[in-house]
Amino acid sequence: MARLAAATPPRTLRDARVPSSPQGSCDEAERGVKDRNDQRSPSPTESSSADGSWLAEVAQAAGREAGGVPVELLGDYLTLLADAATTGRKPDPVELDAVRLLGRRAAELGVSAGSAVQLYLCAARRLWSELPMVIRARDSAAVRAATEAVLHVVDAAVANLAEGYTEARKQMVRQEETLRREFIEDLLRGDADVGRLVERAEPFGLDMGRPHQVALAAPTGRLGHADAVISALERAVVHRFGDRDVLVAGKDGWIVVVAPADTDTAAPRGPQTRSGKLGDLLLAELDRSRPGRSWRVTVGRPYPGSYGIPRSYEEARDGLTMAMRLHLDTPVIHAEQLLIYRVLVRDQPAITDLVQSVLGSLVNARGGAEPLLNTLDAYFATGSVTTETARRLHLSVRAVTYRLDRVKALTGNDPTDPAQRFTIHAAVLGARLLGWPDHDLTAPS
């Protein structure tokens, strides 16, 4: 890049002069420009003192035009532009690194990327318009060189500003994700410091004094593209319930939704939802965003206080585990529906003894206990209707009857006898909850 002034930069732009040309026409042109400059009123640049106060005026005006962006984000950018216009000097790597740091600072101050870039462009335009006429009235080659030098500085500075801004935003997002993940872990675990937990909940919009309920959504199979699913569900939940007291996250391959207890009554019903309950709304949105995939949603009961959320989460998690073990077909399950199963597993030694006493001898059947246990499970699920049991198991009625007879012969308990049906049914449910016969109940836990 050809220099447009002497090797030593002038102390001010007013002192900048084009070098003398051996051609008389150039001398006459410069004298003509000088005469016109002497006749016109002094420009803001020429009337400013040599300390560069005119650059501060340009910075303030650019900041106001950009919407009140802090002028501290300009740094030495205006000086770089002035040097480029007068001497053609390009910024060195150290100066561009300083601009990159200013981009990071803009992100930390919460200034948008568009506003930061607008500040730099406004500053460049205003500085160019404030340059003395002696610089902008040179011959076309000199003006073209000055323009190229200034545009080079603008291009390099804006690129480094945007790069620094992007780096800072990515770092801030990673930090927010880490804080969010740690907060959710402590919130659902329920063993963190309560006072500190309440403080950490405020940035996420959670009022720990309100009753909350927790819902879990689990797909059939592995959850692929979890971030996309969580983002879509979070947008839908926030749109439906508002951005307060709502939290959506992924945990252990499941989607966790924390919502205030009054969402069941306050949430509007969509055209594809059967009710306004939280679980039904989540299922409808998941089916809409990921068609063709089956989901199971469990919802814990609402509880107040900082320990209410982990308690509701525990109910939803236990409900999801029970639903999987019991092979329940209902896609949305509320904790109230599983209270009887919680009663069964609460006294585990007693339910273990019941399973071993009533069903233990089924392991001696040809093919093991699993086929007979499946038959009993389907038989009780269909209301003890043999034909419906056969249809569900894809067997003949005769095969189902034969298996029921085998259960009676092996255990001494008749599943078709109403007096014995409850005992056998409770034992079957206990076997499912305990994972029997895959899990050896005699082995120490």
Reported pTM? 0.61
Q: Are residues 67 and 126 in the same domain?
A: yes
Reported as a pLDDT band with limits 50, 70 and 90, residue 269 is very low
pLDDT band at 6 (very low <50, low <70, confident <90, very high): very low
- Residue 78 and residue 50 share a domain: yes
pLDDT of residue 27 exceeding 60, the answer is no
Mean pLDDT, rounded, for 299-314: 91
Within a domain: 152: yes
Residues 214 and 304 placed together within one structural domain of the fold: yes
Q: Do 327 and 358 reside in the same domain of the chain?
A: no
The reported pLDDT for the residue numbered 221 is 67
In which band, very low, low, confident or very high, does the pLDDT at 292 lie, cut at 50, 70 and 90? low
For residue 102, what is the enclosing H or E element? helix 93-108
Tokens of 184: 């959710």
For residues 347-372, b (16+ Cβ closer than 10 Å) or e, as one string?
Answer: eeeebbebbbebbbbbeebeeebebb
* Domain CATH code at residue 430: 1.10.10.2840
CB 70 within 8 A of CB 62: no
Residue 185 lies in a domain: no
pLDDT digits (tens, 9 = 90+) for 199-257: 888 888 888 888 999 999 988 766 666 677 888 888 888 877 777 778 888 888 888 99
Q: Verify that 297 and 412 share a domain, yes or no.
A: no
- Work out the average pLDDT over 117-139: 79
Q: Are residues 271 and 337 in the same domain?
A: yes
Verify that 356 and 389 share a domain, yes or no: yes
User: Is the link from the previous residue into 437 a cis peptide, with omega within 30 of 0?
Assistant: yes
Higher pLDDT, 58 or 132: 58
How sure is the predictor about 276, in pLDDT bands with cuts at 50, 70 and 90? low
Q: Which of 302, 317, 341 is the last residue of a domain?
A: 341
Q: Is 90 exceeded by the pLDDT of residue 278?
A: no
The DSSP 8-state label assigned to residue 267 in this structure reads: S
What percent of the chain clears pLDDT 70, i.e. is strictly above it? 80
3-class SS at 311? helix
- Do both 333 and 359 map to the same domain? no
Q: Has residue 79 been placed in a domain?
A: yes
For residue 341, pLDDT beyond 90: no
- The confidence score (pLDDT) of residue 147 equals 87
List of residues 6+ apart from 98 with CB closer than 8 A: 75, 76
8 within domain boundaries: no
Q: Would you state the pLDDT for residue 264?
A: 55
Sign of the alpha-carbon torsion through 269, 274, 278, 283 = negative
**Span 84-107, pLDDT tens digits:** 988 889 999 999 999 999 999 999
Is 5 inside any structural domain?
no
**Domain contains 275:** yes
Chain mean pLDDT for the chain: 81
Q: Structurally, how many domains does the chain consist of?
A: 3
Point out which residues pair with 295 in neighbouring strands.
Answer: 219
Which CATH number characterizes residue 238's domain? 3.30.70.270
Query: What is the pLDDT confidence band of residue 176, given thresholds at 50, 70 and 90?
Result: confident
395 plus 422 within the same structural domain: yes
Closest CA to 278 of 257, 309, 249: 257
pLDDT of residue 390: 95
What residue numbers bound the domain in which 251 lies? 197-341
Asked whether the predicted pLDDT for residue 109 surpasses 90, the reply is yes
Residues 152 and 256 in one domain: no
Alpha carbon of residue 82 to chain centroid: 43
* 22 shares a domain with 164: yes
Retrieve residue 99's tokens: 């601009």
Look at residue 137 in the predicted model and tell me its pLDDT. Answer: 57
Residue 150 pLDDT greater than 70, yes or no:
yes
| Length, in residues, of the chain | 445
Q: Among 341, 361, 382, which residue terminates a domain?
A: 341
Separation between Cα atoms, residue 390 and residue 64, nearest integer Å = 79
Residue with tokens 């720990």: 208
Q: Is residue 63 part of a domain?
A: yes
User: In this predicted model, what pLDDT tens digit does every residue of 397-413 receive, in sequence order?
Assistant: 999 999 999 999 999 99
Same domain, 80 and 165: yes
Last residue of a domain, one of 289, 324, 341: 341
Residue at 186 is within a domain: no
